[in-house]
Amino acid sequence: MKMVKSTLAVLTTAAVLGVSSFAQAGATLDAVQKKGFVQCGISDGLPGFSYADAKGQYKGIDVDVCRAVAAAVFGDASKVKFSPLTAKERFTALQSGEVDVLSRNTTWTSSRDAAMGLNFTGVTYYDGQGFLVNKKLGVSSAKELDGATVCIHAGTTTELNLSDYFRANNLKYTPITYDTSDESAKSVESGRCDVLTSDQSQLYAQRIKLAAPDDYVVLPEVISKEPLGPSVRQGDEEWFDIVRWTLFAMVNAEELGITSKNVEETAKSTKNPDIARLLGTEGEFGKDLKLPKDWVVKIVKEVGNYGEVFDRNVGAGSELKIERGLNALWNKGGLQYAPPVR
């Protein structure tokens, strides 16, 4: 087995060195352009990030990232198809080429980046794991959770963080692991578990799904770093750059005050060289990425800048009403920072 593998590795390397890796890069963009749409892996139901509304239309931050990529490539945000994936399926779906981008509320970790054949393109949402409890329990800190029964989603980083946190604080707990967020929400409601743990954004999203959201609180402790972002397959730098710079473009647009309402106006009238470079009226920066000149205009016009996307889906303009917090721009006390276009 091992010998076959190494022989195979040697053969492939020897035979297709250079040629193959070169042909690999760019394969995704070519394929996407040929089929005419971006295939995007999203979650199977998470308010604020990706969920189907009553009409079956997908909405959320993760969905908007995909739409932005489609806007950048095709100038049309609707040229995207969505594959709802379970937590289990997501990596295989990307690895096997079933989807071109995986934008599914996925935490960027070293093992996922290195051992699973993914490349994370950036961070769309800085999150951290927290706890949701019923007020009736009278708990005000996670440190008081000794002996609690905790609901988690199977096979997520949350599962590992939870056990680390309880071990570090010398607390005992009983985990109940479910496949979908619906089940865990139902279980915390029925009292099968005392606590629901997940990324804080998800806890807020789950809370509005409960019958009596006001009976539940999210505890102050944040026990982990959860940078969530889209990922692409390893080995295709060109496609990696497109997805990465789509994110950067949205953040830069917010920083420069370009919104979906004023973008076309600004593109015509701007004197600011930063804006002009970003919107393609000066220089050929889109071309380097193999994208049309006005790619950022299309992204912002059809999807919006980062701030608009955030507000609409999880922020003040949504039911979740999550503060910007870590996700504010760098010059406003947050972590969202994008390299300049030049």
Partner 1 sequence: MQNTAQAPRQRGSVWTDPQVRAWVFQILAVILVVSFGWYLFDNAQTNLEHRGITSGFGFLGNSAGFGISQHLIDYTEADTYGRVFFVGLLNTLLVSVVGIVLATLLGFILGVARLSPNWLIRKLATVYIETFRNIPPLLQIFFWYFAVLGPLPNPRQSLNFGDLFFVNNRGLQMPAPVAAEAFWPFALSVLVALVGIVALWRWAKARRHATGQRFPVALTSLALIVVLPGLTMLVAGLPLHWEVPVLQGFNFRGGWVMIPELVSIVLALSIYTAAFIGETVRAGIQSVSHGQTEAASSLGLRPGQLLRLVIIPQAMRVIIPPLTSQYLNLAKNSSLAAGIGYPDMVSLFSGTVLNQTGQAIETMAITMSVYLAISISISLLMNWYNKRIALIER
Partner 2 sequence: MTTHTFKPDMPPPALTFGPIAWMRANLFSGVFNTILTLIGLYLVWLIVPPLLEWAIFKADWVGTTRADCSREGACWVFISDRFGQFMYGFYPAELRWRVDLTVILAIVGAAPLFFKRFAPKAKYGIAFLVIYPILAYWLLHGGFLGLEQVPTSQWGGLMLTVVIAAVGIAGALPLGILLALGRRSNMPAIKVLSVTFIEFWRGVPLITVLFMSSVMLPLFLPEGLSLDKLLRAMVMVIFFEAAYIAEVVRGGMQAIPKGQYEAAAAMGLGYWRTMSLVILPQALKLVIPGIVNTFIALFKDTSLVIIIGLFDFLNSIKRATADPAWLGMSTEGYVFAALVYWIFCFGMSRYSMHLENKLNTGHKR
Which long-range contacts (C-beta less than 8 Å, at least 24 apart) are formed by 42-46?
A: 42/66, 42/82, 42/83, 42/84, 42/85, 42/103, 42/104, 43/84, 43/85, 43/87, 43/104, 43/105, 44/84, 44/85, 44/86, 44/180, 45/84, 45/180, 45/181, 45/182, 46/105, 46/181, 46/202, 46/205
DSSP codes joined into one string, 49-86: TBEE-TTS-EESHHHHHHHHHHHHHHS-TT-EEEEEE-
**Interacting partner of 259 out of partner 2, partner 1, none (Cβ under 5 to 8 A depending on kind):** none
Give the shortest CB-215-to-partner 2 separation in angstroms.
13
Q: Look up residue 122 and give its DSSP letter.
A: -
Q: Which is nearer to partner 1, 45 or 117 (CB)?
A: 117
**Interacting partner of 182 out of partner 2, partner 1, none (Cβ under 5 to 8 A depending on kind):** partner 2
Q: Which is nearer to partner 1, 94 or 322 (CB)?
A: 94
Q: In terms of Cα–Cα distance, which of 288, 296, 297, 324 is closest to 309?
A: 324
Give the shortest CB-82-to-partner 1 separation in angstroms.
21
86 makes contact with partner 2 (CB under 8 A): yes
81 makes contact with partner 2 (CB under 8 A): yes
Task: Name 10's Cβ contacts closer than 8 Å, sequence gap at least 6.
Answer: none
Q: Binding partner 2 by CB under 8 A: which of 84, 175, 283, 334?
A: 84
Stretch that binds partner 1, among 48-56, 146-154, 242-250, 308-316 (CB under 8 A): 146-154
174 makes contact with partner 1 (CB under 8 A): yes
| Total number of residues that touch partner 2 (CB under 8 A) | 29
Stretch that binds partner 1, among 38-46, 68-76, 227-235, 295-303 (CB under 8 A): 227-235
160 phi/psi in degrees, rounded to 5: -75, -45
Binding residues for partner 1, per CB under 8 A? 2, 4-5, 8-9, 12, 24, 87-88, 91-92, 95-96, 111-112, 114-117, 137, 145-149, 154-156, 159-160, 162-164, 166-167, 173-179, 183, 186-187, 190-192, 194, 233-235
